[in-house]
Structure formats: structure tokens, C-alpha cells
Amino acid sequence: DAKTTQPTSMDCAEGRAANLPCNHSTISGNEYVYWYRQIHSQGPQYIIHGLKNNETNEMASLIITEDRKSSTLILPHATLRDTAVYYCIVRPVGGSNYKLTFGKGTLLTVNP
Amino acid sequence: EAGVAQSPRYKIIEKRQSVAFWCNPISGHATLYWYQQILGQGPKLLIQFQNNGVVDDSQLPKDRFSAERLKGVDSTLKIQPAKLEDSAVYLCASSPRQNSGANVLTFGAGSRLTVL
């Protein structure tokens, strides 16, 4: 699986947009970009995923660069409950093994 | 739909004792995963089941860890004997099916193990 690089930590003011970057320069054409987050004392929670196009759901937006070497997760109006560790993961579309390999992620702290 | 259920939520044992964790995945989910998360690190996959068969157990310390998934539903992860370095949160996750283009995992809340 392709390796991802994320900042260790970021801060964001409540009500503002949180933009979390992820580099995946070795991503191949058949790999999805997934984002999960983990709130303290809980299991990881799926947020969004994408292959080539930008994606949006009720939680967030995912912007993938045209060369697919990096992406940005956007939380449009961050709240205190969005404070969590955010994981960016790349994983093949096909194949027999669908495991997710987690890195250390980015600790996002939303401040009042 | 009900989420992934895990028990116990917390367990404290002495080193060299044994412990077992139980997981009930989301109904109908064919694939089940056990992850180990040490404090300050991301989760690490220990074992992956497809129905009741093992798909990947390459990172499972087989001299002390064992896992089974009887009848392709519930699963149990056992550690015997426990070491200090096994102190971690053990996370269970499930997903609908293996051969899916976008395979979303749903995680349980985890079982926190402290080995003294």
C-alpha cells in the first residue's frame, strides 16, 4: 500500500473550516484515498473516500489533486466535537486483502 | 443498525495471566478484523477473517495470541500468557464483504487491556 504523510497536529477555531492535508506521492491508479477519524476513547470512524474526483458527504469534503499525489479533507464548520485524530489511508480498489493500514494521523484540536 | 459490540471494555491482569476479548460484528458483515492500538500509535492489524476463514494473520504473535470466528459471526481474541507490552486497546471492526471496490470498516469502541 502507498505510504501517506500527514502533519502531526493542527489547530482550528470553532466555526471555521478545518483543512487537513495528506501527501500520498506514491499512490497508484487503483488505490482509493480514505479518511477516518478517532475521537478520544472511541474506535475509528469512517468519514469519506475517493478515487479521482472530489467527494462530499454530510461530514466532510475530500479534494484530490489532479495528479492524485495529495489530498485535503475539509470540515466546513468545525465544532468542538470534531477534535480527534484524523487518519489518511490509501488502499487498493481490488485484491483479496482489504485491510486498512493506519499511520499516526493528525491530531486536530478545535478551540472555542 | 446496531454497531460492532465488544466486551469487556476494560481489563486489568497480571503478566503471564490470560485474557479473552469478544466481538459481535454488524449483522451480515462477512469480514471481521482485530486491531491492536498502543497508546500514541495508529491501530495495527492483527488478524482478518472472511466468514470463518483467516485471510491475514501475518502480524499476529502466534506464540501468545489466538483468534477464532466460529460460524462466521462472533469472534474471540485470546492472549496467553500476557506480557507488559500487550497493554493496548484491542479494536474489532467489520465490513460488508471482501470483494468490494470501496470497503468501509465499522469499528467497535474497543477493549482496553492493562497488564501489570
Q: For the segment B1-46, what is each residue's pLDDT rounded down to a tens digit?
A: 689 999 999 999 999 999 999 999 999 898 999 999 999 999 999 9
Q: Identify the pLDDT of residue B99.
A: 55
Give, in degrees to the nearest 5, the angle at Cα B91 between B44 and A2. Answer: 30
Residues of chain A in Cβ contact (below 8 Å) with chain B: 32, 36, 41-46, 49, 85, 87, 91, 93-94, 96-105
Look at B109 and A42 and tell me if their CB atoms are within 8 Å: yes
Q: Is the pLDDT of residue A39 over 80?
A: yes
Closest residue, chain A, to B56 (C-alpha): A97
Q: Are A15 and A76 spatial neighbours (Cβ–Cβ below 8 Å)?
A: no
Distances (CA, A) of B25 to A9, A108, B3, B5: 32, 29, 7, 6
Question: Residue B48: which of A44, A99, A102 has the nearest Cβ?
Answer: A99
Mutate to test the interface with A, among B35, B97, B105 (most CBs of A within 10 A): B105
Q: Is the pLDDT of residue A79 over 60?
A: yes
Question: Which residues fall within 8 angstroms of residue B114, CB to CB, at 6 or more apart?
Answer: B10, B11, B12, B13, B87
Taking CB atoms and an 8 Å cutoff, what residues of chain A touch B36? none
Q: Identify the pLDDT of residue A1.
A: 57
The residue written with cell numbers 459471526 in the block is B73
B4 touches chain A (CB under 8 A): yes
The DSSP bridge pattern shows strands B10-13 and B111-115 to be: parallel
Q: Identify the pLDDT of residue A96.
A: 56
* Residue A66: all three cell numbers together: 489532479
E-assigned strands of A14-83? Answer: 18-23, 31-38, 45-50, 55-56, 61-64, 70-75
- Give the A:B interface size as CB pairs under 8 Å: 58
pLDDT tens across A41-60, in order? Answer: 999 999 999 998 899 999 99
Cα separation, A77 vs B23, in Å, equals: 35
Taking CB atoms and an 8 Å cutoff, what residues of chain A touch B99? 94
Q: Identify the pLDDT of residue B60.
A: 96
* Residue A12: all three cell numbers together: 482550528
Q: Per-residue confidence at B51, pLDDT binned at 50, 70, 90? A: confident
Terminal Cα-to-Cα distance of chain B (whole angstroms)? 37
Cα of A15 to nearest chain B Cα, Å: 28
Give, in degrees to the nearest 5, the angle at Cα B22 between B101 and B110. Answer: 70
E-assigned strands of chain B? Answer: 5-7, 10-13, 19-24, 31-37, 44-50, 53-56, 65-68, 75-79, 88-95, 106-107, 111-115
Look at A46 and B103 and tell me if their CB atoms are within 8 Å: no
